[in-house]
Amino acid sequence: MNKTKLFWSSLCIGVLCAGNAQKKQDSLATQQLEEVVVTDSRFNLKLENSGKVVTKITSKDLEKMQGQSVAEIIGRTVGVEINGVRSNAGQNLSYYIRGGRNRQVLVMIDGVQVTDASQIANDYDLRLLSVDQIESIEILKGASSTLYGTGAATAVINIKLKDASKKAFNLNLRSTFGTNQSADENDYVVEDFRNSVSANGTIKNFSYLASFSQQYTDGLSAIEDGNESDPYNSYNANIKLGYRFDNSFKLNAYANYDNFKSNFDDSFAMMDADNISLSNQYRIGISPEFSYAKGNITVNAAYNDVDREIVSSFPSKFNAQNVVIDAFNRYNINDKFYTVLGLNFQDNQMESFIIPFGETEFSQSIDSEEAQFTITDPYANVVYVSDFGLNINAGLRLNNHSEYGSHLVYSINPSYTFDTDFGYLKGLASYSTAYITPSLYQLFEPSFGNPNLEPEENSTFEIGAEVVFDNNARVSLVYFNRDEENFIDFVDTGNFVFQYQNTEESFTASGLELVAQVDILKHLNLNLNATYTSLEEDLSLRIPEIKVNARLDYRLSDNTNLGLSYQYNDERNDSVFNSTTFENDTITLESYGLLDFYISHKIINNRMTVFANVTNILNEDYQELFGFATRGRGLNLGFNLKL
């Protein structure tokens, strides 16, 4: 199908379905679409009053996607491509949002920035997080450095973990098992096991939550032509404690431990290998909150420690520590003005070890005494919500970096809501800037690092409209244009000597994002999103020009739900190293579409839910990454028990 026709067909379907839902509104059970979002302002404000592009995945949405990973769920939202989720379970994940890369996407957990200072992109690995721990996810598009600092250039993924139950004791058990094989296999052996347990509750002013999850996946090779499977094994533990001293002061504390072991193959020779990637990470933090008449003061403080090891022909070890302290005051002047004043502090350091050629023992390659920087950012944000439809969200942030000095970013985001006989119509526009600090590896790696690097700079313009039909349907269309300067690239300086450098040329990414949520019939709901992304060749790696996600949910009864989802990914360019010319060749990967089915049923007084997924029903044979394996048709079964 012609790509342009596909996108506009998706647009027409969304609009027609919305109109159809409007005609049938008298006979429909209305769906509550007045969602409350936090990430765009740090206040609980109606989505109607937000001029930002925010996608919220609620706990009800997560119930309809049981058996999927965090990355798979997020990858089904508009404008998001997470590469690696359909491959071997140990495949590294790449986040592509609005033409950006991992280092331009900020992940937050319970309002705290989470990063890995040992990584080249300084990014957080979503494989470390279990869906069973999550209450909801908000995805904020566009440059958001004014509120969230470095890395918030194309999106902020804000993940809220579950809170303790109001009961004194509550136990949750979940188990899933399924197949894991390529499209050319048909034995359907059970090779994927995921289990979790959570105990939580509230006793007077004290709340507690403890959870543990485990995944073991085998059966699929990392490379497409591999003869040996490459297993993946992970563990995740989480403890969350809270105490409310009185109505004005509460204290939360938490601790997380994540561990995984992943086998992988030789990606240069594209052959089986006994390579292993090991990761151990723990994170501890506290979050005191003091409330007063018209506001509250919150301090989010966390310490993160990461140990990674690569066992291969080029063995290496990495260790990194990260401290984040974010203190902010939210003040509600009145029902029209909401202000945030804050100070964010980060301290990052890392060290690495390699075995030099011809030697047998590890020696230090990056010294932690040198590879360290601090960031101190004061910031301010204000939201104005009028009583005549006008809303304004604006902010400033001054980044102070120990290596390159100060940098100012800002944002302005007006929107206007028109009340109509059928619901409301909202128009929005925004202009915002962002920055991405160089990672410790890019600054201090002795062979490739460059201590003179400057931060990458982004500016994003957005304009769009949203129409809501009396809570039965919502359709939005947004155009974005993002300019990128000081792009940090891995440059060949001559004689096969490479170094990280800021490029002089600027890049542009633009596109359209369509979202439609519609009650088609009484118990039949459609969720549709489509993304068109226009990129310059230097930015187009693995990013589809057209991407469409559609999901039909049908409530067969009070206890039974059915779901059918489809995802289309347009053709993409991939880059492959040519060992003959010692250069990268560009290869086009064909487009593909995936059809999945989901069913769940509640039993035993709604305390137990059993569910099943059939993924890639048509057994599509495709490539997500050139030369690497992808999953064919799969089946998983599971249950969720609440006691």
For the segment 322-350, what is each residue's pLDDT rounded down to a tens digit? Answer: 999 999 999 998 889 999 999 999 999 99
Give me the half-sphere count of Cα atoms (radius 13 Å) on the Cβ side of residue 230.
Answer: 29
Q: CATH class for domain 3-642?
A: mainly beta
> Confidence class of residue 2 from pLDDT cuts 50, 70 and 90?
low
Q: Strand, helix or coil at 80?
A: strand
Q: Nearest to residue 594, comparing CAs of 560, 569, 576? A: 569
- For residue 73 the two structure tokens come to 């769920």
For 425-449, write each residue's pLDDT tens digit: 999 999 999 999 999 999 999 989 9
Q: Using only the alpha carbons of the chain, give its radius of gyration.
A: 24
Lowest mean per-residue pLDDT among 37-41, 320-324, 448-452, 476-480 = 37-41
More confident residue, 580 or 391: 391
Mean pLDDT of 158-182: 93
Angle, CA 4 vertex, CA 549 and CA 587 arms, to 5°: 80
Q: Which pLDDT score is estimated for 79?
A: 92
Question: Could you give the angle at the alpha carbon of 160 between the alpha carbons of 480 and 284, nearest 5°?
Answer: 120
Q: Is the pLDDT assigned to residue 635 strictly greater than 60?
A: yes
CA 250 to chain centre: 29
Q: Are 222 and 186 in contact (CB under 8 A)?
A: no
Which position has the higher pLDDT, 149 or 576? 149
Q: What's residue 33's pLDDT? A: 44
* pTM of this structure: 0.92
For residue 394, pLDDT beyond 70: yes
Rounded Cα gap, residues 425 and 416, in angstroms: 8
User: Residue 66: what pLDDT?
Assistant: 86
Q: Kindly tell me the burial class for residue 358, based on how many C-beta atoms sit within 10 Å of its own C-beta (0-12, 13-18, 19 or more).
A: exposed
Pairing of strands 105-109, 112-114: antiparallel
Tell me the pLDDT tens digit for each residue of 543-598: 999 999 999 999 999 899 999 999 999 999 988 877 677 677 889 999 999 999 99
134-149: average pLDDT: 93
Highest mean pLDDT among 93-102, 207-216, 488-497: 207-216
Return d(Cα 426, Cα 428) in angstroms, integer: 7
Q: Which helix (H) or strand (E) holds 334?
A: none
> Per-residue pLDDT averaged across 152-173, rounded?
93
- pLDDT of amino acid 247: 87
State in Å, rounded, how far the first CA of the chain is from the last one: 50
The DSSP output letter for 387 is: S
Question: Of 274, 164, 295, whose CA–CA distance to 229 is shortest?
Answer: 274
Residues 176-201, mean pLDDT to the nearest whole number: 94
Nearest to 83 by CA among 641, 581, 632, 623: 623
- Nearest Cα neighbor of 260 from 285, 237, 291 is 237
pLDDT digit string, tens, across residues 268-310: 888 999 999 999 999 999 999 999 999 999 999 999 999 999 9
Q: Annotate 431-465 with DSSP letters as a single string.
A: EEEEEEPPPHHHHH-TTT--TT---EEEEEEEEEE
Tallying the residues shown for the chain, one arrives at 643
Mean pLDDT of the chain, nearest integer: 90
Q: How far apart are CA 364 and CA 369, in angstroms?
A: 12
Q: Say what the pLDDT of residue 23 is.
A: 44
Q: What tokens does 149 get?
A: 């600092």
Q: Where are the domains of the chain?
A: 3-642
Q: What is the pLDDT of residue 12?
A: 55
